[in-house]
Amino acid sequence: PRTHTITLLPGDGIGEEIMAATVDVLDAVAARFDLTLSMSSALMGGAAIDATGEPLPAATLDACRASDAVLLACIGGYKWDDLPRASRPETGLLALRKQLGLFANLRPAKAFAQLEGASSLKDEVVNGVDLMVVRELTGGVYFGTPKGIDTDPATGARVGYSNMVYHDYEVQRIARVALDIAMKRGKSLVSVDKANVLEVSQLWREEVIKAAADYPEVALSHMYVDNAAMQLVRWPKQFDVMVTGNLFGDVLSDCASMLVGSLGMLPSASLGDGSGPGVFEPVHGSAPDIAGTDAANPVACVLSAAMMLRYALGEFPAADAVEAAVEAVLDAGWRTGDIMSEGKTLVGCKRMGELIVDAV
């Protein structure tokens, strides 16, 4: 059997529950497709802070580096919200992305026919939506310098600043990832910026145009971020692949998630240049309010594992099988609370995982 090493980062809140369900699903596909998935857990986020004082301990980073892929559930919670920024769960996540060079964050938003009615948008607006947000993940205002908060010692006046910065090569490489994806999909790419106001966006737009010259088959267009947020809500079916910077991608992908009806259904993949492992994680957070109640939806984590099988491990039939199993369970009417509707059967996180295992 082929062997793959996977580091699991259950993190905080509902992380343990959804990770447990996902590991069961991975064990099931491994059995069916004769794979050896060597999985071991490491501490990350609030759990790591509690145990070691740091959100991303060196041992965790080493374990990630030594594996073929990283599966992350979710991190954060009220408990750690008042810590100084350097020792907060989110800082660990940002460091993980940066340390592993994960510059490309793929966030698909695909409407599930089975969840018709789950979105706050009208059915005819979201039916058949199938788009991919390609978000730059290691640059922009998240990592730019100078940044800080200065206090004038004389007056006490304060100023905060965070520089939004992009280098040409950063834009080039994310643009090429998006263009490659567009070639495998509908050959249409919308680059989102604020080039009518921001210098950094002007550079972004120019570099995207340059990169696209090598992809004559891809229809490239540009949209301002304010308009893009609006168009995602107005008529999302106009989009195939979108590419944008770190901050705009953060906002637009969350906005796009509403098209599907629940954050609980949305996976993501964070990829680098291929020299190290990618990180696969649900788009949702750690939902501390429902943690430990078996109410979480494990599907986003399970679908993240499917993305891992496909993008990191090259196990395409296994990836397809996991996705098909999720569809089958939805077809059969099983629902967690976040996607529950009339006539369907409500199940908890654990049971949802078992159902997906059975379908695999």
Ligand X SMILES: CC(C)[C@H](C(=O)O)[C@@H](O)C(=O)O
3-state secondary structure of 260: helix
- Of these, 191, 201, 286, 297, which contacts a copy of itself (CB under 8 A)? 201
> Does 184 contact a copy of itself by CB under 8 A?
no
- On whether the CB atoms of residues 328 and 359 are closer than 8 A, the answer is yes
Q: Kindly identify the residues of this chain, within the stretch 26-45, that bind a copy of itself according to CB under 8 A.
A: none
**Rounded distance between C-alpha atoms, residue 236 and residue 301, angstroms:** 24
Binding string, residues 325-354; x marks residues near a copy of itself by CB under 8 A:
------------------------------
- Comparing every residue's Cβ against ligand X, the nearest one is 90
Partners of 268 in beta bridges: 281
Query: Shortest distance, CB of residue 290 to ligand X, whole angstroms?
Result: 18
Count of all residues that appear for the chain in the document: 360
| Site of interaction with ligand X (CB under 6 A) | 90, 93-94, 196-197, 226, 250
Residue whose pair of structure tokens reads 């990832």 in the numeric block: 177
> Does 160 contact a copy of itself by CB under 8 A?
yes
Q: Kindly identify the residues of this chain, within the stretch 66-95, that bind a copy of itself according to CB under 8 A.
A: 76, 85, 88, 90, 94
Pick between residue 39 and residue 279 the one whose CB is nearest to a copy of itself. Answer: 279
Put residue 243 in one of left, alpha, beta given phi > 0 → left and psi -120 to 50 → alpha.
beta
- On whether the CB atoms of residues 158 and 207 are closer than 8 A, the answer is no
38 binds, among a copy of itself, ligand X, none (CB under 5 to 8 A by kind): none
Structure token pair of residue 250: 């953060």
Catalytically active residues, by annotation? 142, 194, 226, 250, 254
- Of these, 86, 122, 153, 217, which contacts a copy of itself (CB under 8 A)? 122
275 binds, among a copy of itself, ligand X, none (CB under 5 to 8 A by kind): none
| Nearest residue to 348 via CA among 285, 300, 296, 284 | 296
Structure token pair of residue 291: 């943690």
Pick between residue 63 and residue 102 the one whose CB is nearest to a copy of itself. Answer: 102
**Rounded distance between C-alpha atoms, residue 344 and residue 327, angstroms:** 14
- On whether the CB atoms of residues 329 and 345 are closer than 8 A, the answer is no
Pick between residue 122 and residue 184 the one whose CB is nearest to a copy of itself. Answer: 122
Q: Kindly identify the residues of this chain, within the stretch 261-280, that bind a copy of itself according to CB under 8 A.
A: 263
Binding string, residues 223-242; x marks residues near a copy of itself by CB under 8 A:
--xxx-xx--xxx-------
> Does 289 contact a copy of itself by CB under 8 A?
no
| Nearest residue to 134 via CA among 100, 96, 180 | 180
Query: Shortest distance, CB of residue 215 to ligand X, whole angstroms?
Result: 27
Structure token pair of residue 356: 């997906």
- On whether the CB atoms of residues 256 and 233 are closer than 8 A, the answer is no
Helix (H) or strand (E) holding 206: helix 199-212
Structure token pair of residue 181: 């994806």
Partners of 279 in beta bridges: 70, 270
Of the chain, the end-to-end C-alpha distance in Å amounts to 18
- Of these, 66, 113, 197, 209, which contacts a copy of itself (CB under 8 A)? 197
- Of these, 20, 83, 165, 183, which contacts a copy of itself (CB under 8 A)? 165
Pick between residue 183 and residue 255 the one whose CB is nearest to a copy of itself. Answer: 255
**Contacts to a copy of itself by CB under 8 A:** 76, 85, 88, 90, 94, 120-122, 125, 141-142, 144, 146-149, 157-169, 194, 196-204, 207, 225-227, 229-230, 233-235, 247, 250-255, 257-258, 263
